[in-house]
Structure 1
Amino acid sequence: MKIKSDSNKINNYKLRLLKYAFTALLAIGSISSCKKYLDIVPDNIATLDNAFTLRSEAEKYLFTCYSFLPSDGDPLANIGYMTGDEIWTSLDERGFISEGWRIARGNQNASEPLFNRWSGKDQAVDGKNFFQAIRNCNIFIENVSDASKVPDLQLDERQRWLAEAKFLKAYYHFLLMRMYGPIPIIDKSLPINADQNEVQVKRAPFDECVNYVVGLLDESLADLPQRIRDRTNELGRITQPIALAIKAKILLTAASPLFNGNPDYAGFKDKDGIQLINTTYDGNKWKKASDAAKVAIDAAEAAGFRLYTFPGTTALKISDSTKRQLTIKGALTERFGQNPEVVWGNPNSVASFLQYAAMPRLDASKPVAVGQALQQLAPPIKIAEMFYSKNGVPINEDKTLDFTNRYSLRTAVKAERFYIKEGYATARLNFDREPRFYADLAFDGGTFFKYDSPGNTDENTYIVEGKSNQISGANNFGWYNETGYFVKKVVDWNMAHTDNNVSYRTYAWPEIRLADLYLMYAEALNESLGAPTQEVYDYINKIRTRAGLNSVESSWSTYSTSPTKYTTKDGMRQIIQQERLIELAFEGSRYWDIKRWKRATELFNQAVTGWSIYQPTAQEYYRVRTVYNQYFISPRDYLWPIKAYDLTVNPKLVQNPGW
């Protein structure tokens, strides 16, 4: 529900805030594995008249608080998914209007901000307003904390529900902080007789915001369950490992260069002269982040979480190479509740449109169409270059494999058939790469193994043919791949072509994987020390081992032109950052990581390139072409603009630098 203001007067602004405080968004649809949990759509919009009279009504209000969780399984709604440089698409935008991608092309503005989560807007994909979410959480907490209300609610359940609401309140604050930096802290709901001064809230300094949300999370921990027992009805609700993981992510963000001693914000002050982002570096923030990440890891592992490994299949005969790919893909796509790696799956968003937006056309009998294969998600060549060589080091460091001619043609031999079709000519860039390259990316000549593979084996499986006169080529208006690389990782391997159509098995979007926690811990620990320790290596190596790579120590010592790189803090920082970008590729993480590392000026000001996809022959197709010259303005583009109108109705606010 969206309340509109008819004028710029403060009274109408105040009225709008109060209306928000007494209404809730309609809840969204359901997932079969947690149907009751999401079955929260009341006949009418919930109001305070009956919301806290009975347990059943209060539960609806709690689930309304959950309903604001971002729809991150949708590439059009996931704020970070296409906002950076990781995925491009066709300028035709056929059925694919991405606000994030428009930001990536320099179209953000302060008059009508794209992805406006501060005050919301009608044209947003899902219209979610995080301050509205916070107000609903405040109303729930204030009412359920009153023991005279909801009389049929048992004490232990009351405490758990309050803990969940506190977590959600903290989380929505964090999502705003990640976008806008310093924000107003909304600690309570506005009374009906609130005066103008109460309505107009200042932005709090960023460190104060961090302390506030971390305090809320700490308050919630004691009353959250360690794990979900009733998986049928409650899967996706907040647990201790989830809360600890988000605490670690918040502290990692606060310790990172964007918010920790950033001199670009020396003049960023409110109207009372208060500094909003501290420009003095504090190394202890990394210690807090590493401690929090280790506690989160211990809690997750104690609850039974572990890195995912593909369990195998008796129905199909597949090689170890393909099993490794299914392990890597399955860490993301195996269903929440069945995937031991997913600490938190987002119950408000399933990956359905994401899969067929990514899927290349593989079956000539099936058209390119909505619900089938749109092949629109296209990583630039620089993303393909980001993955390691098969020796586990960057391709520009590998002293045994020559990638200087990586755009030239090479023909696949039989030993490479599980990655590239035997006898097929494709770019040298696509050969001799690590397993995650082949699990995450599809490309012209590359294999695309899935459950309905012809011959029930990976010896005879689907092949992507991406040139303009081929089945996956750029020969459908708007529904084609702009760079020549397809996002293979997000498509569950159970996708199948049936006689009449195609079928996709959906999955709840993973917000936190255990691998993410391992990477957070290694990063924060490395930054908090003078030099990396064995423990830093160990947590990176856990992920590398699962990916089929040797240890950091072995790989760099043996294959890298910088064999001692891993022994220094700065060198290990580079390794950890690249490891994170590879492991979490196409999960919406890259954009936020590059910004918090303060590397956006470097990486988002590069040309987006792809193959010459409109060409029919290999010699013509494998020519690098510039798709778009991306630009990023620093420090402006590091933070979202607050809508100009909101600054008018609340004169206590100040705009972010550069807007």
Structure 2
Amino acid sequence: MKYLKYIALAGLLGCTSSCIDDLLNRPATTEVSSDLFWTSTDDALSSTYGVYNALRTLYATDYYYDGHGEFQNTRGKSVGNISSWGPGTPGSGFSSMWNNAYRVINRANYTIFYVEQMIEAEQNASVKASLEAINAENYFLRALAYFRLVQNWGDVPYYRHVLSGNDEACSLTRTPIATIIPELITDLQNASEKLPVSYGDKYGRATQVAALAFKAKIELYYACWHKNGWPELEGFEPSSSVAQTYYAAAASDFSKVINDYGLTILGDGNPGTYEKPNYGELFQYYNENCPEIIFSITYGGPSLSQGESLLRDFGTRTTGNAQCWIMPTVRLVNRYQSTITGDFCDELVLSKDATLPNGARNRASYENRDWRMKSTIMWDGESYKKISTDGLTMGDEYVWMFGERNEANGYINNDASNQTGYIYRKWIRQEAGWERTDGPQDFYLMRLADVYLMYAEAVNETTGPTDECIALLNKIRSRGNLPALTSDKYATPEAFFNAIEQERIVELATEGMRPFDIRRWRKTHEIWGEANSDGLTLYDTNGSRIRDEFKNASELNFQKSYIYQIPESERNRNPNLTQNTPWR
């Protein structure tokens, strides 16, 4: 039972759409008298569902972030020219991401304020405990919103109370992340002590294990910033000793997530079959509550105005008249390793010749590769079923063939521009019942495979490779039907880090993780070269140029890839907001 999916999240109070369009998009606080509303746990839950709804808006299209990496092509966008766009739905930018995060924070602060009053007045111990658990959800949700702000902008306005009005909102200054991060960690620790391990069959709400997992993730990121530096964030002073402290804390918390809750990845490493790999099954709505999934933003439908747009963004005209906003690149395909050797295959040769040995248009070139590729990407000759425009009818099987769009001849119609030669299979549902923007599929913000990889990274930074961590990577690789890593080949921290990065690339493709990894590991120059150089050129499978990336780019443009611009609209309203150094 999807608990949050079938709640009317429009709600009351902080849950309403009646918001003051001021600097931080505060909810109105006077629409319903507190004497009439804040009287029961149901009232507290109603307001909390409004916070979940705001979080859903904030994280809804996280997969667009992957367009800031090297493995995903986003229509109409350009890697290396980050000033022209920001991730999110097409056309969105910095201001919407900023405002969406503060909408979560303000709704959470509002709910926490009133629920704390209820807790103080409550005499029944059981009811008090329920209210404390509800409040812990709000602390959790607020921490996720602040973490997203810090990831994007570094120092940001930080407050834990209901703003008194526009005057206060427009007087806020940026708080250093050295102050924010420890408070988020404390909030998540406290939340984990109040939240339940589960809600039975009522899925979609924050749990104890989710709080611990995100606490550990924040610790890991803070460790990375201290190890690798963040020179674009003015005033931030990296410290190797602080880095080691937080790597150790992250490893400890991730270990609890892995060992204390009975979680398993789907299939426990069993690959399934080539035609139906377990990895692909993970991204179908009927498995979204399996033990691998730690926290998601939830969706429901049809006709509840609570559906997702995954089909629209990943699918084609053949699947529900979708728009295919994003596509994989040949660079991603080249990262899928051989199921025979366990190592990388030779890079594909880009050519129209479908008979060319190791050619990108030759189906034989894709044999014996990591089965997760079969679940993620479609290349020439792969197929899926047609879905009617209204989403209600399944049709015949259609074949993907780059350059062919005629459904009458049995081909998938992808009329998107800047095609790469590939389309995604991952997230494409193959059942009828929902139109392209009204789907039921939850989007995963934390799953156990990611925890395995982050744990291995934290341990690698503190003690180097361990047999335990190599075994965890092998469990993930096993569902790609890949040979196991051996401890002798990955005996150094450098070699094992490369193995971790490899698994993060293929395991988490389309889940919005890659650009944040690039930034916290400071790999932009490593990937695209030095300033004022040729950068990289992206080609399609025919060998035709799609775009140049960081070509003749200045060092300033590289710096902008590491930190976002504080929205100028917000700075115009609040002159106390300083601008990040690369954007001045």
> TM-score, normalising length from structure 2?
0.79
Matched with 1:584 is: 508
Of 143, 150, 157 in structure 2, the residue corresponding to residue 170 of structure 1 is: 143
Alignment of 1:303-314 (within 5 A): 305-309=263-267
Of 527, 532, 535 in structure 1, the residue corresponding to residue 465 of structure 2 is: 532
Aligned-residue offset at 1:392: 5.6
Of 346, 358, 362 in structure 1, the residue corresponding to residue 314 of structure 2 is: 358
C-alpha distance in structure 2 between counterparts of 1:54 and 1:653, whole Å: 38
Matched with 1:241 is: 209
Matched with 1:330 is: 281
Describe the shift of the 1:474–1:650 C-alpha distance in structure 2 as closer, same or farther (beyond 3 A): farther
| RMSD of Structure 2 on Structure 1 (CA) | 4.1
Q: Which AA in structure 2 matches 1:513? A: R
Q: Which has the higher helix share?
A: 2
Q: What stretches of structure 1 of length at least 5 have no aligned partner?
A: 1-30, 92-100, 270-274, 313-318, 361-367, 414-419, 453-459, 555-563, 612-621
Matched with 1:41 is: 11
- Secondary structure of 2:327's match? coil
Aligned-residue offset at 1:336: 5.6
C-alpha distance in structure 2 between counterparts of 1:566 and 1:202, whole Å: 46
Q: Which AA in structure 1 matches 2:47? A: Y
1:603-650 Cα distance to aligned partner (Å, 9 max, x none): 356535343xxxxxxxxxx53122011227232221111123433544
Matched with 1:106 is: 82
Aligned-residue offset at 1:394: 4.2
Contact 2:67 2:74 in 1 (8 A): no
* Pair 1:625 & 2:544 matched: yes
Contact 1:54 1:152 in 2 (8 A): no
- Secondary structure of 2:129's match? helix
Q: Which AA in structure 1 matches 2:214? A: I
* Pair 1:381 & 2:300 matched: no
Matched with 1:316 is: none
1:256-280 Cα distance to aligned partner (Å, 9 max, x none): 2x45341735xx54xxxxx234365
- Secondary structure of 2:266's match? coil
Matched with 2:191 is: 220
Alignment of 1:265-304 (within 5 A): 265=232, 268-269=233-234, 275-278=235-238, 282-301=243-262
Alignment of 1:23-42 (within 5 A): 34-42=4-12
Aligned-residue offset at 1:522: 0.9
C-alpha distance in structure 2 between counterparts of 1:481 and 1:263, whole Å: 33
Matched with 2:536 is: 607
C-alpha distance in structure 1 between counterparts of 2:273 and 2:287, whole Å: 25
Rg larger for: 1
**Percent of aligned positions with the same letter in both sequences?**
22
Aligned-residue offset at 1:201: 3.1
Contact 2:311 2:319 in 1 (8 A): no
Aligned-residue offset at 1:525: 0.8
> TM-score, normalising length from structure 1?
0.71
Contact 2:378 2:422 in 1 (8 A): yes
1:453-477 Cα distance to aligned partner (Å, 9 max, x none): xxxxxxx975322233654999979
- Secondary structure of 2:582's match? coil
Contact 2:478 2:484 in 1 (8 A): yes
Matched with 2:494 is: 570
Describe the shift of the 1:552–1:630 C-alpha distance in structure 2 as closer, same or farther (beyond 3 A): same
Aligned-residue offset at 1:308: 0.9
Contact 2:155 2:177 in 1 (8 A): yes
Matched with 2:33 is: 50
C-alpha distance in structure 1 between counterparts of 2:273 and 2:52, whole Å: 41
Of 222, 238, 242 in structure 2, the residue corresponding to residue 254 of structure 1 is: 222
Contact 1:61 1:140 in 2 (8 A): yes
* Pair 1:490 & 2:427 matched: yes
* Pair 1:441 & 2:441 matched: no
Aligned-residue offset at 1:84: 3.0
Describe the shift of the 1:353–1:34 C-alpha distance in structure 2 as closer, same or farther (beyond 3 A): same
C-alpha distance in structure 1 between counterparts of 2:520 and 2:182, whole Å: 18
Aligned-residue offset at 1:53: 3.1
Describe the shift of the 1:523–1:502 C-alpha distance in structure 2 as closer, same or farther (beyond 3 A): closer
Describe the shift of the 1:441–1:151 C-alpha distance in structure 2 as closer, same or farther (beyond 3 A): same
- Secondary structure of 1:371's match? coil
- Secondary structure of 1:344's match? strand
Q: Which AA in structure 2 matches 1:658? A: P
Q: Which AA in structure 2 matches 1:372? A: N
Q: Which AA in structure 2 matches 1:624? A: G
Matched with 1:60 is: 46
Alignment of 1:128-207 (within 5 A): 128-147=99-118, 154-191=127-164, 200-207=171-178
- Secondary structure of 2:297's match? strand
